[in-house]
Amino acid sequence: MTNHIKADLCIIGAGSGGLSVAAGAAQLGLKTVLIERAEMGGDCLNTGCVPSKALLAAAKRAHMHRKDDIKGIRAHEPEIDFSAVKDHVFDVIKTIEPNDSQERFEKLGVTVIRESARFTGTDTVQAGDHHIKARHFVIATGSRAVVPPIPGLEKNKVFTNETIFALREKPDRLLVIGGGPIGIEMAQAHRRLGCKVSVFDMGPILPRDDQGNVEIVRQALLKEGVDLHERVAIREVKHGGSNVTLLIEKDGKAQEITGSHLLVAAGRAPNTDGLDLDKANVKFEKRGITVDDHLKTSNPGIFAIGDVSGGPQFTHVAGYHAGVIIRQICFKMFRAKVDYKALPWVTYTDPELAQVGLTEDEARKKHGDDIKVAAWHFDENDRAVAERATKGQIRVVTDKKGLILGASIVGPQAGELIGLWALAITNGLKIGAVTGMIAPYPTLGEISKRAAGAWYTPSLFSDKTRRIVRFFQKLPF
C-alpha cells in the first residue's frame, strides 16, 4: 500500500549536506522528509573524513615513537596491531554516529525514509512504498569512488576509500593509484603503520596546491620511505593469487612493481544513477547535476548540493551549500549564492598542507605581476622550535595594495591556521589587519602575524622610511 506524503521540503541523501539542510529546515518549522538508501552520515562519516582522520591519528601516534629529535626520550619501533587499529577507527565512527542517526533526526521532526529514491515527476518522488510530493527538493546524494579503465584491472580485486578501512590484515606492500589528497594521506598512514607503500600518478602529487609547499610534503614522504612514482603511465595491471603487479612507463622506460594490495584513489563520480532525473526535468552531465550560482537545477523547485552538484568535493562545501539552501527556502533570500573565493582545503599529511584563495601561480595568471608574496618559515617560530616541528612555511599572496588574495601553509596544524586567512579573504581584509593582530606567545599562530609583517619589511626599513624617521626625531617630543 502506497503511503502518500506532502511536504515542504524533501531531501535525497543523508550525508553531510543533506543532514544539515534537514536539521535546519525541520527546526525552522518546515515539514521535512529525508530519504537515504544506505548509511546515515554518508561518505564522510562511514568511508571518508572520519575514518581517514582516525587512521591518520593512529599512524601519527605510532610515528611519534620513532622520533629521536628531543633529547632524553629514547626512540623505538612501536608494536602495532593493525587489526586493533581498525577497531580504533570504527570506535571513532560509532562515537560520532549518534549525531547523524535516524533517531536524532526523527526527534527533530524529520520524516526519515530508508529507501532508494527516484523522481516520478517534476515535484514527486517514489521511495519504496512512499510517494512524496514536495514544494522543494534538495538532491544531496554525494559521489562514489571510480576505478579507471586500466587494462587488466579487476574492480572486485582492488580497494577504494569505501573498502580500505574494513581491511584487517596489514598489507605487506600497498600500491596506491592516485596522488591526490586521499591517495597521499592513505599512503603516509599505511607507511607509518608498518607497510611498504608505492604511489603512482600520471601527473605530480597534489597538483592543486602551492607547488613550493607540496615539495616540502614530497620530501617528508620520501624521507619516511614512501615510494613515489610521478608522471607515469600505468599500462597494465596483473592480478596474481596473492599479489598485484603494475606495469608502468616513464620517459619510454617500462617497469614492473609488485605489491600485496592495491588502493585506487583516482577520482570520484556523482551519484545520479537511478534518480530518474529526466522525469524531473533536471539536467546533468558526467561531472554532476547542472546548477546555477544559487544551486538551483534546471527545475526551479529542485536544488543540488555537495559532490553531486559538480563543484568542489569537500564535506565543508556541502555544509556551506546547506546554508545557502536554508536562506533561500526558509527565508526567501533569493540572492543567496555560492562564492568560493575563500574556500579552504586541507590535506592531512604530516606536515599538513592547507590552502585558501589563490595560489601564487593562480594569482599571477589573474593579476599579472601586480601581486606581492610574503612568507615566513616554521623554523623561525619559537613554538615550532620547542616542539621540534619546524618543517614548513606560510606564503601569503596579495595585490599590490595589500588585499589578501590567498594563503598557503605547510607545517604543523596548517589546517587550523588557515582559518584566519579564510576569514580575512571572506571579509575583504588587507594584510594590515593581520599585522595589527595581537597573537599570543609562543604559538604556531604567530606565523601568520610574522608573514603579514614580512609583507611590509621592504618598505618599512627602506631608505625613504629612515629619512622620515630622522625628520621626526628633529621635532620636539
- Rounded to whole angstroms, the Cα distance separating 51 from 41 reads 12
**394 phi and psi angles, rounded to 5 deg:** -120, 140
pLDDT at 100 over 90: yes
For CATH 3.30.390.30, list the domain ranges present in the chain: 344-462
What pLDDT band is residue 471 in, cutting at 50, 70 and 90? confident
CA distance 354 to 145: 23
For residue 469, pLDDT over 70 is answered with no
Model pLDDT for residues 20-49, shown as the tens digit of each residue: 999 999 999 999 999 999 999 999 999 999
Phi, psi (deg, nearest 5) at residue 338: -80, 145
Mean pLDDT, the chain, integer = 96
Q: What is the CATH number of domain 155-267?
A: 3.50.50.60
- Taking only the tens place, the pLDDT of each residue in 109-164 is 999 999 999 999 999 999 999 999 999 999 999 999 999 999 999 999 999 999 99
Q: Residue 85 pLDDT more than 90? A: yes
Query: DSSP per residue over 246-286, as a string?
Result: EEEEETTEEEEEEESEEEE-S-EEE--TTS-GGGGT--EET
State how beta strands 3-12 and 32-35 pair: parallel
- Is the Cβ–Cβ distance between 263 and 158 less than 8 Å? yes
pLDDT of residue 76 exceeding 80, the answer is yes
Q: Global pTM?
A: 0.94
User: Could you write out the DSSP letters of every residue in 375-435?
Assistant: EEEGGG-HHHHHHT----EEEEEEETT-BEEEEEEEETTHHHHHHHHHHHHHTT-BHHHHH
- Confirm if 198 and 190 have CB atoms less than 8 A apart: no
Residue with cell 603511465: 233
The string of DSSP codes covering 88-133 is: HHHHHHHHHGGGG-HHHHHHTT-EEE-S-EEEEETTEEEETTEEEE
Element at 12 (helix H, strand E): strand 3-12
**Cell triple for 91:** 570506535
The residues with which 11 forms a beta bridge, in sequence order, are 34, 138
Entry field: residues in the chain: 477
- 8 A C-beta contact, residue 185 and residue 58: no
Q: How far apart are CA 382 and CA 429, in angstroms?
A: 27
pLDDT in tens, 222-270: 999 999 999 999 999 999 989 999 999 999 999 999 999 999 999 999 9
pLDDT digit string, tens, across residues 169-179: 999 999 999 99
Contacts 24+ apart (CB under 8 A), 81-87: 82/168, 82/169, 82/170, 82/193, 82/194, 83/168, 83/169, 83/170, 85/55, 85/58, 85/193, 86/165, 86/166, 86/167, 86/168
Selection from 287, 274, 269, 267 nearest residue 35 by Cα? 274
Pairing mode, if any, of strands 268-270 and 261-264?
Answer: unpaired
Which residue from 86, 112, 87 is spatially nearest to 18, judged by alpha carbons?
A: 112
> In the predicted model, what is the mean pLDDT of residues 331-353?
96
- For residue 8, the model assigns a pLDDT of 98
- Which amino acid does the sequence have at 301? G
pLDDT of residue 464: 75
Task: Please report how the helices 463-473 and 446-460 are oriented relative to each other, as an axis angle in degrees rounded to 10.
Answer: 80
Q: Domain 344-462: give its CATH superfamily.
A: FAD/NAD-linked reductase, C-terminal dimerisation domain (3.30.390.30)
Block residue for cell numbers 533526526: 105
Of the candidates 328, 254, 248, the one whose C-alpha atom is nearest the C-alpha of residue 296 is: 328
87 — pLDDT class (breaks 50, 70, 90) = very high
Check residue 461 and give its pLDDT.
Answer: 63
pLDDT, tens only, 413-465: 999 999 999 999 999 999 999 999 999 999 999 999 999 999 998 766 667 76
Q: What superfamily in CATH does domain 3-40+101-144+269-329 come from?
A: FAD/NAD(P)-binding domain (3.50.50.60)
Question: Comparing 202-211, 451-460, 465-474, which segment has the lowest mean pLDDT?
Answer: 465-474
HSE value, Cβ hemisphere, 13 Å, CA-based, for 299:
23
Beta bridge partners of 249: 233, 254
CA distance 348 to 206: 12
Distance CA 111, CA 118 (A): 17
**Overall average pLDDT of the 293-311 stretch:** 97
pLDDT at residue 1 tops 80: no
**What are 392's three cell numbers?**
614548513
Report the alpha-carbon distance of residue 381 to residue 156 in Å, rounded. Answer: 48
